[in-house]
Amino acid sequence: MAGAGIHIDLSGLHQLQRKLNELGGFDRRNLLDVIGATVESQTRRRIADEKTSPDGEQWPAWSADYAKLRHGANSLLQGQGDLLDSIGFVVGLNDVEIGSNLIYFATHQFGDDERNIPARTSLGLSPDNEIELQQNIGDWFEEILK
């Protein structure tokens, strides 16, 4: 992804890979789809509602000068909705990438010292996100073992 993203690769999880191989005959891309959809949803919630980084830090407010340029209905990282709409995921054979293809998303994710733009990190997993992801993976395993 051109903007910013995270990459989850199942091939490095040898114990999980062995268990998946024991199950045989299923398409692991279905599991990657569950992972991608879960993390995409978490990232969208973080941008639309939570306004915090995955580590729980509240995002910095707009600078006073920039706030003067914004319309009343806009909130941090949300204007016309382009950034929120750009969050997505792509499933590969052994991995999934979650992020945005918008170049300015990287500016928000990492910040830009030269332009005095602080990082407002939205990609990543909070402890609650990890629990939700583990639950969704567990639900997926239960479903395929039926």
78: phi then psi, degrees, rounded to nearest 5? -135, 115
Determine the pLDDT at residue 13.
57
CA distances in angstroms from 96 to 43, 49, 120, listed in the order given? 15, 24, 23
CA quadruple 12, 15, 89, 92: dihedral sign: positive
Pair 96, 32: CB distance under 8 Å: yes
What are the strands, taking DSSP E only, across 34-142? 88-91, 95-100
pLDDT in tens, 7-30: 666 655 566 666 666 666 667 788
pLDDT in tens, 35-93: 999 999 999 999 888 889 999 999 877 666 665 665 555 554 555 567 888 999 999 88
Three-state DSSP at 140 gives helix
The token duo for 5 is 């993203």
Pair 100, 4: CB distance under 8 Å: yes
